[in-house]
Structure 1
Amino acid sequence: MKNIKLAIVGFLLAAGFSSCDEFIEKQPIDQLSQATFFADEATTRTAIIGAYRSMTTSASYGQAFIVIPEFAAGNMAHISSFPEYVEFQNFNIRIDNPWTLNIWTASYNTINAVNNIIAFAPRIAGFSNNTALQNLVREARFIRALSYFNLVRSWGDVPLILEPTTQQTTSADLRVSRNAASDVYAAIIADLTQALDLPLNASGTAKGRANGMAARALLAKVQLYAGNFAQAAQLAEEVLANGAYGLVENFATIWTTENSSESLFELQFDQQTPNTFVTNANPLSRQEFFARGAAEDVFEATDLRRSFTVRRALDVAGNEQFYVGKYRNFNPPTQNVPILRLGEVYLIHAEARAKADGNVSAGALASLNAIRQRAGISPVANPGSVDAFTREVQLEKRREMMFEFETWFDLTRTGLATEILGVPSQQRFVFPIPQLELDLNRNLVQNPGY
């Protein structure tokens, strides 16, 4: 594999990426200047591949962004009682926790990489008549929206940086303040609105790239978090009605086959881009991360998802352990990570439609029961109030999305984290701003309670 490094300092940290054999080597952009690097469609495609690759690192979806939300949700354990993990289970996170810094840094590295694409690709000659080049910019906007969505869910108010770091950027320019979460959501929605114009559907490994349906699914999710329930429901309905995607009959095949008919956007891993998490979370591997026994208790005994999601297996000493069952391709560690899939869209629709209508309509109930039916458990016949129905949807999401880094964010969004997980204060619904960032940037302020 040949490496292409995007050597641009982003938030005082270098953003790097690598490309596959089909791309030629380029010297670092800080030597060429960004404007020189973005010369044509080929160089822009190289840059977007690098941006996707930046999300596969162990500081992002390659480990940290799976592990940390699942520790906070009470679903995962580590082989040792390392404080850096236990702090998330105890909701008492230190401001110097390395994992919050890793996720923060990785997110802004990805954002800086796509900021360059969004800023410089439109300057390429013929851009206005080149649909393929325009779509690469739309993909960059999708990635930026996803990155900021993860940041705002994790920290609340965060710096909103929409321009790339260049040679002209000064240290003073980098010392920015936090923007209100509402402004961050507005920027996310603006980016995804443009990404809606991407080609609607994808199949096979092309699901590792943003497409129009993935953009609609992510925007539906964002609108749900933003409290725009009618918009969330409408977007979810567009995805569900598309016809190119469908719930798989056997829940396990979402992970055992990869890029299934249910997958809308799935981050691709291979032997050149290995998945660090699966190396550390399987029997006969390094066995660092385990499922907690309490995770199994969330499921009904007859739930078909139960034994696959929380996998019982013998460790190397012959003792039974609970393992994370959804990520099994560890030899070699090539397990993909589904980031958006149809099962979640059904549950987004169920909640959003009920809240938008002010009652539990037949459509909202049907979306919830579609997921329960596949799981082999009884449908909900009498949903009760919208509040009671929302709680039922959240319980179903815990089962359906376990180990897919969503439970923690859903329970903090709905305020149920205190009741269900025992979070002592709503101030602990967000993570602390990393101390290193506060030291580097005096314009940042810490989240209350830390």
Structure 2
Amino acid sequence: MKNIGNTSTWMILLMIILSSCGDFIDRSPLDQLNQETFFTDEATTQAAVIGAYRTLTSSNLYGQAFIVVPEFAAGHMRHISNFPEYLEYQNFNIRIDNPWALNIWTASYETVNACNNIIAYAPNIEEYANNENLQNMVKEAHFIRALVYFNLVRAWGDVPLITEPTTPRTTSEDIKVPRDLSSMVYDQIVSDLEMATDLPDNYVSSKGRANGLSAKSLLAKVHLYLGNMQDAANLADEVIQSGQFQLLQNYSHIWTIENSEESIFELQFDEQVPNTFVQNANPSSRQEFFASDAARELFDEEDTRRDFTIREAEDNSGNINFYVGKYRTFNPPTQNVPIIRLAEVYLIYAEAVASDNLQEGINAVSAIRTRAGLETDFVGSQGELIALIQQERRKELMFEFETWFDHCRTGAAADILEVPDPNRYLFPIPQLELDLNDKLIQNPGY
């Protein structure tokens, strides 16, 4: 909701920060803390940055909802009870009061506000001008904000672009802001990511933190969406040629080895921050979400990705079901979520160069197909090659929340997913947001 800056939300974020960062900051009473006075030194800024990353693990974002919703829309997933709030995405008939639309929207703007606070207040710390660590943490906040706005603009199109922190003193009228053109939002995303590309490539050892190469990878993807193919190709090639990442020969190791050599930016879960989706999508745990039969049928029999991506198992009644195979670490449910990995960068590069250099595009997509045990004897046009690359993106990145947005980007959603109305490429603005903010206007078709 738009009241993302109210006191309770900020206190929740501070509790996340304080509970996740050990004893390296003073544990002042929460009611004495506010955004401006919280940022006093490198330690408190570090706490805020970790808190911002942790908001991404919410069950309303990458902890469940932002995996489930796009995968239902892509036709890859089903629910044990056929709950209507999920089926609406699969049937492209989403109600304006769908709870998951509201959950993702609300959680996204909470993360945006956490980043806005870091970006606004950390530079006021006395040592900031001479402290590279502080400066880098602000760049991380730019990366996180760009990631969230990229998700928002892909899902809803024009969205409110808020780059200043809301505070307990922000009035209700201040919070009521209209939607900004998607072009303006994309300009901000590009600006944020360009700032984040200044992070050192080896900035931190953990894949759970952004660095220069993860920013370049995400920026390459953004440029692909914008149709800036040369920029996308250049950035993707820089990441590939960096030598910092490798395609794993065993596809399953991407998911069974945390922070593998293929992972460029991977969201971290642990026993204190469990992965809700893993708990709800595993045959040996609480079972709510299944892989669809249609998802399995997309793979050729010889495709080595199929049997890992879609796990076949027998339930307690002896029935064979298809499960989401990529998320298996359920006891405890600490499965990490790769947000972007090298294989996707190869596919970004393949599509970006295909229009100017057909053979270079073939070579890039062949690297992904070869690992999957498939040959690439391609003879065809540029359009046919791009269609092949899109097919590979769908299979390679299944259950990684990309296919729906990809097919909407290319217009393939109409034919491949059988979306009846291009207006349905965007989700509805949540009704509660419209009720709270009379400056918002609903998307066409809803």
Report if TM-score (shorter chain) is over 0.5: yes
Find out whether 1:14 has 2:9 as its counterpart. yes
Query: 2:262 matched to 1:265?
Result: no
Partner of residue 280, structure 1: 280
Report the AA paired with residue 343 of structure 1: A
After TM superposition, give the deviation of residue 343 of structure 1 in Å: 0.4
Q: CA RMSD in A?
A: 1.5
Residues 287-342 of structure 1: CA distance to partner in whole angstroms, max 9, x if unpaired? 10000011011111100000000100112222211000000000110000000100
Given candidates 373, 377, 381, the residue that maps to 2:378 is 381
Return the offset for 1:21: 2.2
For the 8 Å contact 2:67–2:399, the answer to whether it is kept is yes
* Structure 2 partner of 1:72: 73
2:31 and 2:4 map into 1 onto residues whose CA distance is: 9
Measured in 2, the distance between the counterparts of 1:11 and 1:225 equals 34
Mark the CA change 1:12 to 1:228 in structure 2 (over 3 Å): closer, same or farther.
Answer: farther
- Tell me by how many angstroms 1:9 deviates: 4.0
Q: Give, in whole Å, the separation in 2 of the partners of 1:81 and 1:327.
A: 21
SS in 2 for 1:56: coil
**What corresponds to 1:434 in structure 2?**
430
User: Equivalent residues in 2 for 1:203-352 (5 A)?
Assistant: 206-352=206-352
**Alpha-carbon separation, structure 1, partners of 2:354 and 2:123:** 41
The equivalences for 1:174-185 within 5 A come to 174-185=175-186
- Residue 30 of structure 1 deviates from its aligned partner by 6.5
- C-alpha displacement of 1:28: 6.8
Change (3 A) 1:203 1:121: closer
User: Quick check: 2:155–2:427 contact (8 Å CA) kept in 1?
Assistant: yes
Alpha-carbon shift at residue 167 of structure 1 (Å): 3.3
CA distance in 2, matches of 1:412, 1:28: 48
Question: Which residue pairs with 1:423 in the alignment?
Answer: 419
Does the C-alpha gap of structure 1 residues 315 and 369 become closer, same or farther in structure 2, counting only changes over 3 Å? Answer: same
CA deviation profile, 1:133-171 (whole Å, cap 9, x unmatched) = 000000000000000000000000000000001233211
Name the CA distance, whole Å, in 2 between partners of 1:195 and 1:430: 28
Matches within 5 A, 1:86-97: 86-97=87-98
Task: List per-residue Cα deviations over 1:428-447 (Å, max 9, x = no partner).
Answer: 00100000000000000000
Confirm or deny: 8 A CA contact 1:251 1:305 kept in the other structure.
yes
Cα distance in 1, alignment partners of residues 152 and 195 from structure 2: 20
- What is the aligned partner in structure 1 of residue 400 from structure 2? 404
> Following TM superposition, by how much is the alpha carbon of 1:88 offset from its aligned partner in structure 2, in angstroms?
0.4
Alignment counterpart, residue 364 of structure 1, candidates 361, 365, 373:
361
Change (3 A) 1:304 1:108: same
Query: How has the CA–CA distance of structure 1 residues 71 and 226 changed in structure 2, closer, same or farther, with 3 Å as cutoff?
Result: same
What is the letter of the counterpart of residue 93 of structure 2? N
Query: 1:257-294 CA distances to partner (integer Å, 9 max, x unpaired)?
Result: 11000000000001111000000001121110000011
- Structure 2 counterpart SS, 1:409: helix
Following TM superposition, the consecutive aligned residue runs of length 4 or more in structure 1 with deviations greater than 6 angstroms are none
- Residue in structure 2 matched with residue 135 of structure 1 by the alignment: 136
Q: Distance in 2 between matches of 1:445 and 1:99?
A: 19
Distance 1:353 1:11, change over 3 A: farther
Distance 1:176 1:258, change over 3 A: same
Task: Say whether residues 1:446 and 2:433 are aligned partners.
Answer: no
- In the aligned structure 2, how far is the partner of 1:98 from the partner of 1:11? 21
Kept after mapping to 1: 8 A contact 2:5/2:170: no
The unaligned stretches of length 5 or more in structure 2 are none
Preserved CA contact (<8 Å) 2:63 2:276: yes
Task: Give the aligned partner of residue 34 of structure 2.
Answer: 33
Change (3 A) 1:304 1:278: same
Identity of aligned residues (%): 62
Residue by residue, what CA displacement relative to the aligned partner does 1:349-406 show, whole Å, maximum 9, x if unpaired?
Answer: 0011123x2x52x222111000000000011431x22221111111000100000000
> Which amino acid letter does the alignment assign opposite residue 347 of structure 2?
L
* Contact 2:262–2:341 (Cα < 8 Å) also in 1: yes
CA gap 1:301/1:202 in 2 versus in 1, 3 angstroms: farther
TM-score (norm 1): 0.95
CA distance in 1, matches of 2:411, 2:29: 46
Q: What is the distance in 1 between the residues matched to 2:26 and 2:422? A: 49
TM-aligned CA distance change 1:120 to 1:28, over 3 Å: farther
Number of equivalent positions? 438
Question: Taking structure 1 as reference, are residues 397 and 31 closer, same or farther at Cα in structure 2, changes over 3 Å only?
Answer: same
Aligned pairs for 1:183-198 (under 5 A) are 183-198=184-199
SS of aligned partner of 2:59: coil
